[in-house]
Amino acid sequence: MKKYCFGIDIGGTTVKCGLFETDGTLLEKWEIRTHSEDNGSRILPDVGETILAKMAEKNIDKSEVAGAGVGVPGPVHDNKVPYAVNLHWGPTDIAGILHKITGIPIKAGNDANVAALGEMWKGGAEGRKNVIVVTLGTGVGGGIIINGHVIEGAHGAGGEIGHAHVEDSITDVCGCGNSGCLEQVASATGIARLAREELAAKDPSEASVLENEKDLDARAVFNAYKAGDAVAARIVNKFAKYLGTTLSVFATVADPEVIVIGGGVSKAGDALTDIVSRYYKKNAFPACADTPIVLAQLGNDAGIYGAARLVLD
Amino acid sequence: MKKYCFGIDIGGTTVKCGLFETDGTLLEKWEIRTHSEDNGSRILPDVGETILAKMAEKNIDKSEVAGAGVGVPGPVHDNKVPYAVNLHWGPTDIAGILHKITGIPIKAGNDANVAALGEMWKGGAEGRKNVIVVTLGTGVGGGIIINGHVIEGAHGAGGEIGHAHVEDSITDVCGCGNSGCLEQVASATGIARLAREELAAKDPSEASVLENEKDLDARAVFNAYKAGDAVAARIVNKFAKYLGTTLSVFATVADPEVIVIGGGVSKAGDALTDIVSRYYKKNAFPACADTPIVLAQLGNDAGIYGAARLVLD
């Protein structure tokens, strides 16, 4: 067993980097800028350079390094991407390019899938091998882990659970081009949509603290819900019914040991997992009905943890 | 590589048995009765005996046999079942018992999962490694194959896709104890239910050949649909919308190369896969929208093929 590995999480504005011991101890983390100009041609050389620089700084020899894992915002197959819109990339052989620069083994994965792996390794699903991770942020992402491995999928679309169709009545178009996706009702923006709809539909005589909210966002909705606001309760129940029921459908496919919810919306905490669990349990196949739904624990570091884990397989 | 293997598919009334070459050639198949009396205590000894008898008959030595795979109607974990209602079994160590009798390696799997593996090996998904198999019979079963392996699940419930919740308005109770399961609208009995509902709801002035059907079953509905009956078309579209949309949701989890539909209902043929594909495509994540939906090819032999394949891993 080598002693060190790197976890690299490439985002549209910054690249998060972590130096780990192969037992999962994070020794140091840092960030570099993502230079997406010139079709993002500098991004991987910059990553390679920062890895080599860190090895030099710490007196780490190549022979001690298991490799570097890399998470990227795009579909990944065989350590390559066909494109990554946010990085301005066309077809890119991530492992080939980075290995040439660094001389260490490289693996690459989709960023949401890699973050899921991080939560499995050292986060909310530590010690488990069969996990569904849902990330509720601006959109809804996810990663499905079976026997310790993320489902990559035949088209790099494994775990694209934000685009599960859940509602026929939505006519707005989702980022993916369809309408009625989970993302449109369960992301931060989706919850804001449900809030606007509920406020518009409620009886004018019914008071709600949400009427006076300047930022009618997921946070405001959950705060009002926790304070006992009835309109907020209806919004949260709608959201939780969509998410909990859809998770119960996912469980008929993957039957995980645990379901982990992360992303900005998950800052609502136990109030969120409690109500989602209630709807999950109502519709889950009985053998899976007691599967725990827990909060993610690594926050923005899930990507570097998971990327590092990727290279240890 | 050993030359032979056995595939055993234990059902409630008969045990289907197959002797295969390890390249997947079926040399011979036969059946024995399932003796489920005395808590099914004779079933595995009977299976062991028929395997040994076949080896003796064919002059096959133990050293030439890779082993026997066994499909059973129940949740399987680690080659054991906690129970199998149709066989009157409590906790049963299938591999332990059968290995003791036969001396050859034994593996066990859930019957629906094993049938899926059969379709991957030598059926509608031959040559693929990432497959969703749906079996539309009296109920709806399934198997999800990722990288050549069936998802068994944390509670033996991987691929229990018949119990995905798809409809809030159904109040009848499904076999699983919930209401609104895919099985209640997409199995043979589910299609019959949709047919009864549609006939009851239609305008009395609208004629349909289904009004005179004594057996208002899935076969009658598909025959009328193929003959252009408008009421049958509405029934089939309802069924296909439930199934196609749910398959598109499953695809956001597993992103398969191909989706295979088997079971008695699939005898409706291309008319069925065509209409299900239309609803699938409408709601599928764009990267997965062209995933083919094809018919199963092995019929009732899928179980013995898949069981044989199980032991070759």
Class of A128-296 per CATH? Answer: alpha beta
Q: For position A8, what pLDDT does the model report? A: 98
Give the tokens for residue B285: 């994540």
Q: What contacts B204, CB < 8 A, 6 or more positions away?
A: none
Integer CA distances (angstroms), A195 to A230, A236, A261, in order: 12, 9, 21
Tell me the pLDDT of chain A averaged across its residues: 96
Please say if the pLDDT value at position A74 is more than 90: no
Residues of chain A within CATH 3.30.420.40 domain(s) are 4-120+301-310, 128-296
Of A158, A165, A257, the CB nearest to B154: A257
Position A86 pLDDT exceeds 90: no
**How many whole angstroms separate alpha carbon A186 and alpha carbon A236?**
10
Q: Say which of A159, A177, A283 has its CB closest to residue B253.
A: A159
Q: How far apart are CA B239 and CA B186, in angstroms?
A: 6
Please give the pLDDT value at position A111: 92
* The A14-21 sheet, strands edge to edge: A26-33, A14-21, A4-10, A65-72, A106-110
User: What are the chain A neighbours of B256 within 8 Å (beta carbons)?
Assistant: 153-154
Query: Contacts of residue B165 in chain A, CB cutoff 8 Å?
Result: 245, 248-249, 283
Let me know: does B50 contact B98? Beta carbons within 8 Å.
no
pTM of the complete model = 0.93
How confident is the model at residue A31, as a pLDDT?
97
What residue type is assigned to position B295 of the chain? L
Tell if the CB–CB gap between A253 and B144 is shorter than 8 Å: yes
Cβ–Cβ below 8 Å for A253 and B250:
yes
The model's pLDDT over A178-197, given as tens digits with 9 standing for 90+, comes to 999 999 999 999 999 999 99
Angle (CA) B63 B64 B68, round 5°: 95
Low-confidence ranges of chain B (pLDDT < 50): none
**How far apart, in Å, are the Cα atoms of B290 and each of A293, B109, B258?**
33, 30, 9
Task: Output the pLDDT for position B223.
Answer: 97
Supply the DSSP string of A13-36, one letter for each residue.
SEEEEEEEETTS-EEEEEEEE---
Contact A249 B164 (CB under 8 A): yes
Paired tokens of B89? 């079994």
Nearest to B155 among A245, A248, A255 (CB): A255
B contacts of A283 (beta carbons < 8 Å): 165, 178, 180
Residue B130 pLDDT = 97
Q: What is the pLDDT of residue B96?
A: 97
- Give me the percent of chain A exceeding a pLDDT of 90: 94
Min Cα–Cα distance to chain B from A257, Å: 5
**Contact B130/A144 with Cβ under 8 angstroms?**
no
Q: Would the CB atoms of A252 and B130 count as touching at under 8 Å?
A: no
- Residue B52 C-alpha, separation from nearest chain A C-alpha, in angstroms: 34
Instruction: Using pLDDT thresholds of 50, 70 and 90, give the confidence band for residue A77.
Output: confident
B-chain residue closest to A287, CA distance: B155
Condensed to tens digits (0 to 9), the pLDDT of residues B66-98 reads 999 999 998 888 899 998 888 999 999 999 999
Q: What is the pLDDT of residues A224-263, one digit of tens each?
A: 999 999 999 999 999 999 999 999 999 999 999 999 999 9
Q: Measure CA of the first residue to CA of the last residue in chain A; give whole Å.
A: 11
As separate numbers, helices (DSSP H) first and strands (DSSP E) second, chain B gives: 10, 10
Nearest to A151 among B245, B254, B283 (CB): B254
Where, residue-wise, is CATH 3.30.420.40 in chain B? Answer: 4-120+301-310, 127-296
- CB contact (8 A) between residue A153 and residue B286: no
Give B-chain residues touching A254 at CB under 8 angstroms.
Answer: 144, 151, 153, 158, 253-254
Question: Which superfamily does CATH assign the domain made up of A4-120+301-310 to?
Answer: ATPase, nucleotide binding domain (3.30.420.40)
Q: Which of B151, B257, B286 sits opposite A255 (nearest CB)?
A: B151
As a whole number of angstroms, the distance between CA B307 and CA A274 comes to: 41
Polymer length of chain A: 313
Residue B245 forms contact with A (CB below 8 Å) = yes
Residue A259 at interface with chain B, using a CB cutoff of 8 Å: no
Check if the beta carbon of residue B162 is closer than 8 Å to that of residue B140. yes
Residues of B in contact with A146 (CB under 8 A): 146, 151
Residues 111-150 of A with CB under 8 A from B: 130, 144, 146-147, 149
Whether chain B has a CB inside 8 Å of the CB on A157: the answer is yes
Q: Give the CATH H-level superfamily of domain B127-296.
A: ATPase, nucleotide binding domain (3.30.420.40)
Q: Say what the pLDDT of residue B75 is.
A: 86
